[in-house]
């Protein structure tokens, strides 16, 4: 699978359906937001976006960051303006069902002691990261990690997916690794890069 195929196929994965999965505290509809994060690596070139809203295929934007800018990671409004500049249309993906589901599952509706939840949970209702690793016909490695992140996170929270060495790491000489799960745990140990360094040191998967 080459980079074109990777980016094309991941268009399907970018737009993970389901509940509005990134939210702020508070109950205003306007605050029920879907925020997308993605990182794309290919032959040690890297591009990523975080906190990007209203774009259907963030992997394609991450690719443009990699190919068209001197940068590695664009976030939030800047990432959105870059996407618009690159010809990506803005979309409004929130459905009535998603917003209703968000209200029903929001921790504020469940907490009994009035305290803010301090731990993050990934379960059947709250998970949506996808990582794909590839090797093309010439043996070059690539990968993409895309998510809308944990539900009920704080505004501004970035998960592991767009962080180099967190949710994805590709080293053309050694291997490729990607992660799903609670991003904080993965970022804390530089999860994907750590695994690749273990391979470089001679360990086996």
Q: Does 192 bind ligand GLY (CB under 6 A)?
A: no
Q: Which residues pair with 40 in a beta bridge?
A: 47, 144
By the 8 A CB rule, do 119 and 98 touch?
no
Can you tell me which residue has the tokens 């074109």?
4
Q: Which of 19, 129, 134, 146 is catalytic?
A: 129
Q: Which of these ranges, 50-58, 72-80, 88-96, 153-161, lies near ligand GLY under the rule CB under 6 A? A: 153-161
Our CB check for ligand GLY shows the closer of 96 and 154 to be 154
Nearer to ligand GLY, 142 or 159 (CB): 159
CB of 179 to ligand GLY, least distance (A): 7
Buried b vs exposed e over 41-51: b needs ≥16 C-beta within 10 Å?
Answer: bbeeebbbbbb
Query: Residues 131, 134, 161, 192: which binds ligand GLY (CB under 6 A)?
Result: 161
Question: What x/- string results for residues 100 through 139 when contact with ligand GLY is judged by CB under 6 A?
Answer: -----------------------------x----------
CB 34 within 8 A of CB 148: yes
First to last CA, the chain: 22
User: Which of 35, 150, 176, 193 is in the footprint of ligand GLY by CB under 6 A?
Assistant: 150
- Supply 167's token pair: 């949710």
Does 159 bind ligand GLY (CB under 6 A)? Our answer is: yes
Q: Which stretch binds ligand GLY (CB under 6 A): 43-51, 73-81, 102-110, 178-186?
A: 178-186
User: Is residue 181 a contact residue for ligand GLY (CB under 6 A)?
Assistant: yes
Element of type H or E holding 193: helix 191-200
Q: 3 or 130, CB closer to ligand GLY? A: 130
Cβ(161)–Cβ(147) under 8 Å?
yes
For residues 11 to 50, the per-residue mask of contacts with ligand GLY, x marking binding by CB under 6 A and - elsewhere, is ----------------------------------------
Q: Where are the alpha helices (DSSP H) in 92-147?
A: 96-105
Inter-axis angle of helices 3-14 and 58-68, nearest 10: 140
Q: What are phi and psi of 45, to 5 degrees?
A: -85, 145
Q: How far apart are CA 154 and CA 100, in angstroms?
A: 19
Query: Is 129 considered catalytic here?
Result: yes
What are the catalytic residues?
A: 129
| Interface ranges with ligand GLY (CB under 6 A) | 129, 147, 149-150, 159-161, 167, 180-183
């Amino acid at each position: 699978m080459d980079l074109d195929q990777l980016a094309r196929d991941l268009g399907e994965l970018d737009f993970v359906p389901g509940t509005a999965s990134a939210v702020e505290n508070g109950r205003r509809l306007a605050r029920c937001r879907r925020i997308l994060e993605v990182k794309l690596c290919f032959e040690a070139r890297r591009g990523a976006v975080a906190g990007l809203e209203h774009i259907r295929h963030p992997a394609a934007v991450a690719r443009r960051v990699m190919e068209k800018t001197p940068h590695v990671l664009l976030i939030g409004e800047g990432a959105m303006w870059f996407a618009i500049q690159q010809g990506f249309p803005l979309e409004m993906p929130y459905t009535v069902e998603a917003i209703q589901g968000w209200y029903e599952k929001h921790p504020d509706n469940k907490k009994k002691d009035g305290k803010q939840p301090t731990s993050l949970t990934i379960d059947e209702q709250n998970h949506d990261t996808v990582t794909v690793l590839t090797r093309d016909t010439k043996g070059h490695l690539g990968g993409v990690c895309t998510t809308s992140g944990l539900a009920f996170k704080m505004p501004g929270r970035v998960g592991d997916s767009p962080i180099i060495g967190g949710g994805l790491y590709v080293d053309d000489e050694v291997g490729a690794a990607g992660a799903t799960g609670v991003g904080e745990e993965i970022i804390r140990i530089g999860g994907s890069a750590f695994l690749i360094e273990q391979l470089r040191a001679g360990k086996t998967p």
